[in-house]
């Protein structure tokens, strides 16, 4: 007699163990396991690369570092291991202020030049098919095609990183990626392995604070800062070195999504940021960023307890101001996504004369890792010959053959020196790249410099620099993420070993939300430092350029009111569209979206014009009232004129906070006008849209 089994049936001996049994079995297998290399060589230390002295350069002979990073680089074929999901655009960089007193890099010296660029924005954790609006770090990589060769500024939208030494980078990425036993969750960090790692690696505390902030869910790539992360060198004509950090400052300011909104957008339009980039450029609303240089010296940094080689730290802008020296404009979409956005290869080692490196142990690993990864992802060593990677500067060398070679060399000599080829190509007599002759001395060692040891002061500074709504959002983010962690001990460790060392009230709030006990022992409290530049509230406001405004209307709408608001918004560079009960004519305009195929989360603001028949049709629709109410809950600007004002008040009545005095109460960001007031409405509504959010209006958007 046989028994039929279902598709998912298992034999008893292979049945899945419970989580606790599975964990215990795994631990028993590891009781006597010693960490080794792939050749079985025991490894006593895997947290620091081999350096010349604690703050010296990393040594190429570190076989453990090279093996660990090489194996990591080649884990994914052909998708990028990290930053797999990306969007790109072409543009130009124009220098406004010459830095010839600091560097010989021509693109930073000659203000008459227009340097072509290609920029790729990306998420870090998710695969190519993941959503745009997940909570994650965003990559911000720029390729400058200069006359001296390509310069790649490979950065993120956050100025710090999770780990201090590149040898820990594979560990971090393994921890943040979907858990290996079931490949979940995709595109998210709310799981056990990530928080287990971060709870055991306190140097990550500062970066995790950024990740839990609204910076991790940008409204648009146009509203996102970029940072080179590392400390670089600018080298002048006399060979003098100047330490610098690179910043991209969005002209339209830094703005975010609400967390509830970001989650809903992932289901409504997973391509939200990508679509916004493409459609904005197609509409002539180009993305603009100012390039800033933050010149710093080691003594100034040391005086505030910052080691410039430590990528988990910043130098506050109040101490070392960011000097804006040029502007980048992204004004052309790619012709082919695969050929350009997918095949573009950024590499930290791609610098030009006048730009150099420091001994940052995270940078050293990236100098090796990026090129190594591209050998697999792009099929070999000739990826620089692909059109998107090809420099404008002429290329002459003795590299040859290999996969993907597109050149047909005709020289009889492929070596240097040679006489058969007339000695060609010749060494550069002037203008060549010269490494900065930094003096280094010390013993070979695997250790961390004591100057890297403070992991909590800057995490606390970031939190204390936030506005009240931003702090609420951070508490909510920690609470959400840690609530997804199954293992209680992981939650307890992070709250008690990390958050309690950052801020006691933050730790207490999160502990209460995720069901763990806050340890009775008092953690040392970091000094309450602040840096106003860290808060998005200090960001530029006042422009509606690129903002998408939903105009809820149906046949019978008051055309005059619609025309006045369309004109005011369009003149400012906003993108108003009619959202109606069906596609087709609505007054003198055309409805391009309907209540069936769009949602308030995809818009920056909502306007409801008057017209008795139009408002009557909308009032009969529950989804129209939900559209308005949800936008109100997400703290967005909302406008209404004539009968539309009454519909707005009716839709948000349940969400108006107690104490508001009736329907005419003052509600920040809600702009209403009766028929006699509609002439002044467009200006007032545009001003509200330019503010972006009104977090103080209601708690429901947090």
Active-site residue, 597 included: no
**Cβ atoms 615, 648 nearer than 8 A:** no
Report the alpha-carbon distance of residue 358 to residue 230 in Å, rounded: 8
Q: At 209, phi and psi to the nearest 5?
A: -60, -40
Which of helix, strand or coil describes residue 151?
strand
80: CB partners within 8 A, 6+ apart: 86, 373, 377
Q: Which residues pair with 150 in a beta bridge?
A: 145
Query: Cβ(391)–Cβ(384) under 8 Å?
Result: yes
Burial of 38 (0-12, 13-18, 19+ CB in 10 A): exposed
Alpha-carbon span 3 to 319, nearest angstrom: 75
DSSP state of 256: B
Count CB atoms within 10 A of the CB of residue 289: 27
Q: For the chain, what percentages of helix, strand and coil (3-state, to nearest 5) are there?
A: 35, 15, 50
**For 193-199, which contacts have Cβ atoms below 8 Å and span 24 or more sequence positions?**
195/481, 195/482, 195/485, 195/490, 195/491, 195/494, 196/487, 196/490, 196/493, 197/171, 197/172, 198/162, 198/494, 198/498, 199/490, 199/493, 199/494, 199/497, 199/498
Question: Positive or negative, the Cα torsion across 148, 154, 157, 161?
Answer: negative
* Nearest in space to 286 (alpha carbons), one of 220, 335, 215: 220
3-state class (DSSP) for residue 241: strand
Catalytic residue chosen out of the listed positions 64, 90, 150, 156: 156
Give CA angle at 596 (595, 599), nearest 5°: 60
Structure tokens at 346: 């950024």
Q: Are strands 226-227 and 138-146 parallel, antiparallel or unpaired?
A: unpaired
Give one word for 151, left, alpha or beta, with left for phi > 0 and alpha for psi -120 to 50: beta
Contact at 8 Å (CB) between 368 and 344?
A: no
Which one, of 88, 561, 36, lies nearest residue 578 by Cα?
561
Give 632-658 as a 3 state SS string: HHCCCCEEEECHHHHHHHHHHHHHCCC
* Contact assessment for residue 511 and residue 479, using Cβ atoms and an 8 Å cutoff: no
* 638-641 sheet: strands from edge to edge: 584-586, 589-594, 575-580, 548-552, 605-608, 638-641, 670-673
Active site residue 156: yes
d(CA 615, CA 619): 6
Could you tell me which residues are beta bridge partners of residue 589? 586
Cα–Cα distance measured from residue 675 to residue 603, given in angstroms and rounded to the nearest whole number: 26
CB 287 within 8 A of CB 280: yes
Q: What is the DSSP letter of 204?
A: G
- Structure token digits, residue 264: 């809903």
Q: Could you give the CA distance from residue 152 to residue 145 in angstroms, rounded to a whole number?
A: 9
Q: Are 438 and 309 in contact (CB under 8 A)?
A: no
Structure tokens at 518: 């806050």
Alpha carbon 192 to chain centroid distance?
A: 22
Q: Is 390 exposed, middle or buried (CB count within 10 Å of its CB: 0-12, 13-18, 19+)?
A: middle
Active-site choice (64, 83, 191, 692): 83
Q: Which residues are tagged catalytic?
A: 83, 156
């Amino acid at each position: 007699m046989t028994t039929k089994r279902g598709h998912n049936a298992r034999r008893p001996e292979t049945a899945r163990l419970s989580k606790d049994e599975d964990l215990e079995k795994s631990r028993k297998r590891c009781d006597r396991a010693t960490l080794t290399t792939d050749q079985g060589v025991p490894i006593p230390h895997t947290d620091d690369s081999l350096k010349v002295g604690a703050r010296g350069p990393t040594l190429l002979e570190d076989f453990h570092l090279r093996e660990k990073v090489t194996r990591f680089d080649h884990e994914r074929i052909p998708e990028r291991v990290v930053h797999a999901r990306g969007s790109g655009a072409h543009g130009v960089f124009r220098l406004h202020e010459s830095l010839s007193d600091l560097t010989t890099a021509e693109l930073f010296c000659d203000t008459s030049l227009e340097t072509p660029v290609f920029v790729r924005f990306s998420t870090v954790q998710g695969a190519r098919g993941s959503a745009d609006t997940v909570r994650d770090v965003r990559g911000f990589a720029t390729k400058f095609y200069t006359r001296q060769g390509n310069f790649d500024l490979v950065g993120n939208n956050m100025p710090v990183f999770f780990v201090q030494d590149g040898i820990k980078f594979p560990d971090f990425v393994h921890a943040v990626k979907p858990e290996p036993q079931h490949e979940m969750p995709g595109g998210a960090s709310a799981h056990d392995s990530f928080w287990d790692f971060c709870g055991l690696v306190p140097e990550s505390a500062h970066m995790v604070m950024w990740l839990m902030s609204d910076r991790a869910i940008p409204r648009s790539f146009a509203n996102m800062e970029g940072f080179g992360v590392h400390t670089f060198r600018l080298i002048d004509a006399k060979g003098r070195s100047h330490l610098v950090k690179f910043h991209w400052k969005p002209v339209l300011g830094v703005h975010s999504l609400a967390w509830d909104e970001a989650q809903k957008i992932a289901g409504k339009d997973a391509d939200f940021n990508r679509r916004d980039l493409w459609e904005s450029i197609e509409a002539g609303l180009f993305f603009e960023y100012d390039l800033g240089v933050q010149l710093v010296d080691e003594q100034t940094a040391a005086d505030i307890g910052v080691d410039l080689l430590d990528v988990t730290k910043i130098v506050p802008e109040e101490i070392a101001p960011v000097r804006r020296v040029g502007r980048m404009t992204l004004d052309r979409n790619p012709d082919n996504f695969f050929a350009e956005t997918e095949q573009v290869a950024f590499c930290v080692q791609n610098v030009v004369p006048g730009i150099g490196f420091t001994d940052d142990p995270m940078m050293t690993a990236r100098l090796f890792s990026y090129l190594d990864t591209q050998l697999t992802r792009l099929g070999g060593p000739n990826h620089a010959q692909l059109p998107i990677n090809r420099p404008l500067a002429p290329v002459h060398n003795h590299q040859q053959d290999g996969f993907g070679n597109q050149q047909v060399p005709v020289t009889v000599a492929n070596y240097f020196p040679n006489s058969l080829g007339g000695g060609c190509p010749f060494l550069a007599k002037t203008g060549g790249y010269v490494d900065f002759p930094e003096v280094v001395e010390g013993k070979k060692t695997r250790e961390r410099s004591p100057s890297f040891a403070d992991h909590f002061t800057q995490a606390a500074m970031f939190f204390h620099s936030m506005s009240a709504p931003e702090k609420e959002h951070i508490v909510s983010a920690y609470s959400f993420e840690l609530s997804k962690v199954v293992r209680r001990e992981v939650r307890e460790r992070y709250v008690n070993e990390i958050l309690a060392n950052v801020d006691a009230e933050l730790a207490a709030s999160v502990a209460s939300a995720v069901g763990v006990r806050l340890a009775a022992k008092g953690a040392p409290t970091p000094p309450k430092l602040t840096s106003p530049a860290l808060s998005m509230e200090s960001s530029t406001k006042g422009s509606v350029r690129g903002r998408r405004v939903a105009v809820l209307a149906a046949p019978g709408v008051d055309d005059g009111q619609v025309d006045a608001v369309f004109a005011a918004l369009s003149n400012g560079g906003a993108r108003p569209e009619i959202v109606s009960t069906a596609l087709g004519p609505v007054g003198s305009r055309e409805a391009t979206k309907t209540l069936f195929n769009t949602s308030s989360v995809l818009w920056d603001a909502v306007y409801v014009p008057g017209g008795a028949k139009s408002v009557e049709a909308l009032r009969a629709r529950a989804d129209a009232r939900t559209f308005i109410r949800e936008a109100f809950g997400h703290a967005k600007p909302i406008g209404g004129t004539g009968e539309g004002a009454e519909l707005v008040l009716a839709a948000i009545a349940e969400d108006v906070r107690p104490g508001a005095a009736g329907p005419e109460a003052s509600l920040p960001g809600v702009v209403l006008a009766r028929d006699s007031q509609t002439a002044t409405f467009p200006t007032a509504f545009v001003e509200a849209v330019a503010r972006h959010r009104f977090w103080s209006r209601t708690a429901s958007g947090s």
